[in-house]
Structure 1
Amino acid sequence: MQARVDQAGKPVILPQKLAQGGEGAVFTVEGRPDVVAKLYSSAPAPEKIAKLEAMTGAATAGLTERTAWPLEVLRRPGRGVDGFLMRRIVNAHPAFTLTGPALRKRTFPDRDWGFLIGAARSASSAFDAVHSAGHVIGDVNPNNIVFNADGDAFLIDCDSFQFTEGGHTWTCPVGVTEFQPPELQGQADFSRIIRTPDHDRFGLAVLIFELLFLGKHPFAGRGASPQTGDAIRDYAYVYGRHWPYERPPLTLPPGAVPPALLTLFERAFSREGTGRRPAALEWTRVLAQMNLDLTSCSVSPLHRYWMQAPGCPWCEIEKSLRQPLFGEAPRREVVRKRRVPAGLQIGEEPRPAEQKMTVLWEHFRTILPAGAPPIPPALPPLPTPSPGGVEAGKVRQLSRYATIVVFGLALAVTHMVFDAGLLTDGAIFLLACLAYYRTGSRADRDAMAVLRKCKKDYAQFLAGLNATDAGEFNNYSENLTNLHQKWLEVSEEEEALLRECVKQARETGLRRFLSNQRLEVATIPGIAQDEKPPITGAGFRTAADITSQKLNQNPGLEVVTQKRLLTWRESCERRFVFEVSHVPPDQISAIAKDYTRRQRAIQSAFEMELAEFKIAKAVIVENREDAMQNIRIAGNCLQAARSEAKARRLV
């Protein structure tokens, strides 16, 4: 058990060690299950302490949602800072457990390619949270990015990020070769380098590539240097469209992913893309649409692929590998078979229409709900105002001081020379107020106008984000669910009709069979031959005539005789053998024809609704991303306008 004090001097009890690393250890925090404490093995340097204290002051909702950002520094009682509190991220695994098929099948055994696409999109959102706050990750690598069972990405080891506050930048001293861009390859000391978001974007692109291409590195292939760092420095992107390199065998072909995604990879990994690599939000948009455009393989339930691909690429790769790429789930048919009596000739099974409808339904189920609008990003810190604004503020302040002095002198003169009264004093005070709060120069008026406009724009964009609710999306989802339920009901009705056909055919066959069992020639235990004429005379000539109702209507027959007749009929029924092939084919054909007509109508409506559903989801995603981007831009403008107005002493 460890004990520390927080920034307010309150004791913090750390009862249990959760993990041990090279830099220090992570502990639970008593009474706070949502956070953990990181304690350094050796006392951090003053520069590191200053960085931690600055980072805790810069924590925002956007950062804490996606990262294990330092929240509060911890001190050993009587000594200095030696740790900090951060968000606790539970049941999460490093990125390398997702990129490689072997580890992924053990860690996430039931996850498919759609899950990996969603994970890549979530990682992009995490990068965007850091970059939007004005910081740089620096050491992008698969150990510092973790994913939970839902595919949500979180960034850890945030105390090593490159962080800027108050004009001072604390650099990130480390970097992994495989995730550093060409311009930083061969660097021996990263602590001397100020990195940019564009450097991070290269690492993000590598991570996304490894997630989607199942662990393959974009710069590892035939013709490229065997040393990954050298291949990156040479811009040897082996999957590129215009490069003399060859991708490794048994990898996802370029035609299996959308052209928009390939374009982003080209920009990220080419020489021409340096300095303008795709931002995190660009990846988010393309990956979101890509996840909407997946379809399910008819052979394996864990094979999902881009619907415009020529076929399931995973089946082709697995044929050569002779082992599954996605878990160990047994192959199955993804169609619902009809539950009908055995032996009934119902035609092709499964029927193509049923197979297509089931695939459509499986595709619908893979589309994640839109959910509530995201939480808007926090406003950035106030930027540095313009030199002109600072100078104008100084002049305004001096002018106000002068106004106060002149006001005092005016009051003194009027009282000493003119013996002024309250009315004169009030007039002088009013003039002084007007001078103190005067509108100022044209530049000051423009600055206030800009501030008012920025406030209005920011409020409008916030309202626009809240307006991107999922109402229409949810309506489509409900309609699709109802259509699928109708489809199932029609199938169940067909099954019920087929069972009724069999039942009626059996009853007809049984009646015919019993009608051929003549009482006068049958051997019935307990009924002699000379006792039969009165029975046949009463209308009981065959086994079909013998029913409890008819026997009760003939009181002339003894009860014992009635029981013996019923027993004989039952023995005849047991000898009856029914063949389902005797069901009239025209009846089956009529039921199947009606079923097909109704199912096709539902399937057609489902396909149209599904297309609208996907468009609605894409529109919501795009609108929200646009709204978030607009909010960030408007927030930056608002803070810039506030800084300028504050510098000019206008607010």
Structure 2
Amino acid sequence: LPLPDHFQPTGRPLPLGLLRREYIILIEIALSALSLLLCGLQVEPRYIILVPVLAAIWIIGSLTSKAYKAEIQQRREAFNRAKMDYDHLVSQIQRLGGLEGFIAKRAMIEKMKDEILGLPEEEKRALAALHDTARERQKQKFLEGFFIDVASIPGVGPARKAALRSFGIETAADVTRRGVKQVKGFGDHLTQAVIDWKASCERRFVFRPNEAVTPADRQAVLTKMAAKRHRLESTLTVGATELQRFRLQAPARTMPLMEPLRQAAEKLAQAQAELSRC
């Protein structure tokens, strides 16, 4: 896109008779100091004539200062208008060309590329984690073999067992205090009875280190990672096609605004250069 920095205009100098603000301030300070000196000291009468002269200079300086302020205000307003026009055209081009969507899509594609490159390491970590979670997975599988329907739990008959099933609580592996208490008819007493039954099942569990990671466990990880790679690669292909379509279509939509934008950028650069002369 055309930018104001692409242009190097020369700003108009201040009109003749206008001093830069810092010079005006220095003159006013000097006049103030001299006036105070004349008023505070006993001077010869012939120097009294300097008072009206200083007053006249002060008035001229004030008028010059007002003219300078008006000039800088005019240049600042011109700069603000030029910037507003330029920003408006940039927004139009970005909207018509879908630039923001393009940038977001490209960032997503780059992220997916990084994910694909990182899949081998992720797979290694997942396989290593099988050993770390072996005890819990064995225990979970063990508890899945204890069905509530055939269990002997004090106070929990067929009707209440059916109620538990309706909430997805079918085996000891499904039992949690919070989950059981959500079932209608299960207060603290009955909930504790179900929790105690689960605990009795857990006490029968024996961890088998030689079966920590089974071939089925490894295959589940490999299958999951292969599915993730396929999903990422498919999405990456679709995204690349969308970016290519954008590259082909965007210029046709934004071309009519390019010349107005170039003119607006040049105008903004000129206004900025003129404001910098103040």
Structure whose residues are more often helix by fraction = 2
- TM-score, structure 1 as length reference: 0.16
- TM-score, structure 2 as length reference: 0.32
